[in-house]
Amino acid sequence: MKGFPPDLQKRIIEALNNKGANKACPRCGHGMFGLVNKYHVASLQDSHEGLVFQGDGLPTVIVNCQNCGWLAHHALYLLLPDLRPPEKPEGGALPGGGS
C-alpha cells in the first residue's frame, strides 16, 4: 500500500503535536494513536438533497485510536498550509492554461 512518504508522515505528526492534537482518545481514554497512511477527501456540497461526486473537497488526514479505533479527521491545509494549491481565479482557469 503506497501512502505518505516518510518525510510527510513526520511533518504531519509534528504539526498535530504542535497544535496540541495529541491528547488521549475522547471515547476510551487510550493514549496511543496511529496515522492512517492515506488522504481522505470529504465532499463539500451545497445541498443535502442528492449526492454529487464532483466539485469541492476538503483533504484530511486521519488518526485512529490504537485501542478502540475511533477516528479523527484533521484538515490537511490547516496542518500544512504550504501544501495548499494556488487559488483559481474567477472563471476557473489557472494562469498558464491549467485548470
Mean per-residue pLDDT, 5-15 = 96
Report CA-CA distances (Å) from 17 to 11, 48, 79, 88. 10, 34, 10, 31
Mean per-residue pLDDT, 93-98 = 46
Lowest mean pLDDT among 28-32, 40-44, 95-99: 95-99
- Listed by start position, the domains of the chain span 6-46+56-82
Single pTM value for the model: 0.76
Q: Is the pLDDT of residue 94 over 50?
A: no
Block residue for cell numbers 503535536: 17
